[in-house]
């Protein structure tokens, strides 16, 4: 039902934007529709193209680490997968979400040509995220008992706890990396992000080979490699920023970073809740699968599917970032119609890409797990789950982009309530009933949770269609004045 409803809603959104463009064309403000699409696509891909590469490179570090771990013992691979997806994934989702507050503030400030405020906003984000890092430290230090409490086997929980402690430096890198990346994206400096990401990926491959194969450090070695690679990202982006790469937006370290922190905390918290509710959603799926019969095979297979899904998700997340920046830039410049059209072009482009990957998964469903495991039961289970993986990828081609619209417009707190209701009041209970009550196992859990995602996507489409973009542009001007005064 959700899939059938989305098509006419998207057609309505595109049609309404076309009417706006025709009206502008009569006034001589723009060229024809195809020319406008080309111009907007060029602006969008200027952000999305390098961002896709940088996100793929960053995520590939996790994938490469899990690929190395996949050739260790089965329970070690399961432990590393849980440590990455549950412990680090929890912190990753919250802190990435909190840093996304900068997409609203920096994007709108850049569109309004208030360049000096971008550096101040980023420094405020560093302060807030560092405090968050300290508060989340017990999650890493006491990972083993927490995972056992959540129903994980003792040996898997113990190894996961060891891996989590080794990843504490990675945890603190998030506080600097996410604001730096958003700061650079908001001013369209995306190529430097791509080059630094490439350097970090090369370092990661070399260090992984050295630690796992040469020094034979096992699961500890696989975890430590991520610390090196992610701090390469931080040092590269910070070096570019402070050494003259951003003369308009970086004026040096400022005491202003410590002013207006409470307001910044509230916006960051709303952004964090919005995105982390999405990131944690499929983490819960892995935890629920860990309580099934023959849990080790189920968790291994599901972890492989989540890695593949996460790899492909870097493309929609790049569109999430690109859409957030484009919408925020246009709203900051007072151009509501431009923000609306940027939304349409981004959603349409992402859907086309999503359909392509949907076909790809369906064609190669027998081979997609070979890079991660040689266990026949695991390969069979991944093959069985490939239909749900393809459907999840298709939904991902719409949902993150609409979340990017929400971030660019500053709707984070509103969308957080939607995510809470759709994911945790509908999707998780539905997954539980299909998995255990109807005895459908991991397929039932995943299918039920996909239902929550579909409903959330449908609601976001309706909100986007009904949005008064000119009013949003006015609100952006008021917000910028408020934040600058703070």
pLDDT at residue 234, as a whole number = 94
Dihedral over alpha carbons 336, 337, 338, 343 (to 10 degrees): 100
Question: What's the pLDDT score for residue 100?
Answer: 79
Residue 1: per-residue pLDDT:
40
pLDDT at 83: 80
Q: How many helices (H) and strands (E) does the chain have?
A: 20, 0
Q: Rounded to whole angstroms, how far apart are CA atoms 148 and 442?
A: 20
pLDDT at 2: 40
Distance CA 3, CA 113 (A): 40
Q: Specify the pLDDT at position 75.
A: 64
Q: Taking the CB of residue 165, how many other CB atoms lie within 10 A of it?
A: 16
Per-position DSSP letters for 427-476, written without gaps between them: IHHHHHIIIIIS--HHHHHHHHHHHHHHHHHHHHHHHHHT--HHHHHHHH
Residues contacting 268, CB < 8 A, separation 6+: 98, 99, 101, 125, 128, 129
Predicted TM-score of the model (pTM): 0.78
**Residue written as tokens 């406008």?**
36
Q: How many CB atoms lie within 10 A of CB 345?
A: 22
Q: Give the C-alpha separation, 461 to 467, whole Å.
A: 10
DSSP state of 209: I
Q: What is the pLDDT of residue 73?
A: 60
Residue 72 backbone zone (phi > 0: left; psi -120 to 50: alpha; other: beta): beta
- 486 residues of the chain, pLDDT tens digit each: 444 444 454 455 445 444 544 444 444 344 588 888 899 899 889 888 898 888 888 878 877 777 776 656 656 677 777 787 778 877 887 888 788 778 888 888 888 888 888 888 899 889 989 999 999 999 888 888 888 887 777 777 888 888 888 889 999 999 999 999 989 988 888 899 999 999 999 998 888 888 877 777 777 787 788 888 899 999 999 999 999 888 988 888 878 777 777 777 877 787 777 777 777 777 777 778 777 766 677 777 887 888 788 778 888 888 988 888 898 888 888 888 888 899 999 999 999 999 999 999 988 888 778 877 777 888 888 888 889 999 999 988 888 888 888 877 778 778 888 888 998 899 989 988 888 888 888 888 889 889 998 998 999 899 888 888 888 888 877 777 776 665
Residues 157/160/165/169 CA torsion (nearest 10 deg): -150
Q: Are 390 and 254 in contact (CB under 8 A)?
A: no
Give the residue ranges of DSSP H helices in 209-240: 218-240
The distance of Cα 202 from the centroid of its chain, to the nearest Å, equals 22
Could you tell me the residue ranges of all domains in the chain?
2-485
Whether the Cβ atoms of residue 473 and residue 460 lie closer than 8 Å to each other: no
Q: What is the dihedral of CA 348, 349, 352, 354, to 10 degrees?
A: -100
Question: Which residues have a Cβ under 8 Å from the Cβ of 423 and sit 6 or more positions away?
Answer: 277, 278, 281, 449, 452, 453, 456
What pLDDT does 74 receive?
Answer: 58
64-85 residues labelled b (16+ CB within 10 A) or e (exposed) = bbbbbbbebebbbbbbbbbbbb
Question: Cα dihedral sign for 95, 247, 237, 168?
Answer: negative
């Amino acid at each position: 039902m959700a899939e059938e409803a989305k098509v006419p809603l998207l057609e309505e959104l595109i049609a309404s934007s076309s009417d706006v463009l025709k009206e502008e064309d009569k006034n001589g403000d723009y060229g024809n529709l195809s020319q406008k699409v080309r111009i907007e696509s060029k602006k969008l891909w200027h952000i999305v193209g390098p961002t896709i590469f940088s996100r793929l490179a960053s995520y590939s570090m996790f994938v490469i680490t899990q690929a190395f771990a996949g050739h260790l013992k089965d329970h070690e691979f399961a432990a590393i997968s849980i440590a990455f997806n549950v412990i680090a994934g929890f912190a990753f989702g919250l802190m990435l979400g909190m840093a996304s507050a900068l997409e609203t503030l920096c994007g709108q400030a850049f569109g309004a040509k208030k360049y000096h405020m971008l550096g101040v906003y980023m420094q405020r984000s560093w302060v807030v995220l560092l405090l968050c890092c300290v508060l989340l430290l017990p999650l890493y230090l006491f990972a083993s008992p927490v995972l056992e409490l959540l129903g994980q086997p003792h040996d898997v929980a113990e190894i996961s706890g060891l891996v989590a402690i080794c990843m504490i430096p990675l945890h603190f890198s998030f506080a600097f990396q996410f604001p730096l990346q958003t700061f650079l994206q908001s001013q369209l400096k995306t190529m430097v992000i791509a080059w630094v990401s490439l350097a970090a990926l090369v370092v990661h491959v070399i260090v992984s080979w050295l630690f796992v194969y040469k020094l034979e450090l096992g699961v500890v070695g696989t975890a430590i490699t991520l610390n090196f690679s992610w701090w390469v990202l931080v040092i590269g982006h910070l070096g570019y920023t402070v050494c003259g790469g951003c003369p308009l937006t970086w004026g040096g370290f400022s005491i202003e970073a410590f002013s207006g922190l409470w307001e910044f905390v509230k916006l960051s918290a709303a952004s964090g809740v919005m995105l982390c509710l999405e990131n944690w959603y499929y983490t819960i799926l892995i935890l629920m699968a860990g309580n099934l019969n023959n849990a080790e095979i189920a968790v291994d297979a599901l972890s492989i599917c989540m890695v593949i899904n996460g790899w492909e998700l870097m493309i929609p997340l790049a569109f999430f970032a690109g859409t957030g920046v484009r919408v925020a830039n246009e709203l900051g410049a007072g151009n509501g119609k431009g923000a609306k059209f940027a939304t349409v072009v981004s959603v349409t482009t992402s859907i086309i890409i999503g359909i392509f990957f949907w076909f790809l998964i369906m064609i190669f469903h027998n081979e997609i797990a070979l890079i991660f495991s040689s266990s026949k039961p695991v390969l069979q289970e991944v093959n069985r789950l490939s239909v749900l993986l393809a459907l999840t990828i298709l939904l991902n081609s719409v949902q993150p982009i609409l979340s990017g619209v929400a971030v660019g417009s500053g709707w984070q707190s509103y969308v957080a309530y939607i995510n809470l209701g759709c994911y945790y009041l509908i999707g998780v209970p539905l997954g539980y009933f299909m998995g255990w009550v109807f005895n459908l196992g991991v397929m039932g859990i995943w299918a039920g949770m996909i239902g929550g995602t579909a409903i959330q996507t449908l609601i976001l489409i309706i909100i986007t269609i009904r949005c008064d973009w000119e009013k949003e542009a006015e609100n952006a001007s008021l917000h910028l004045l408020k934040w600058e005064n703070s």
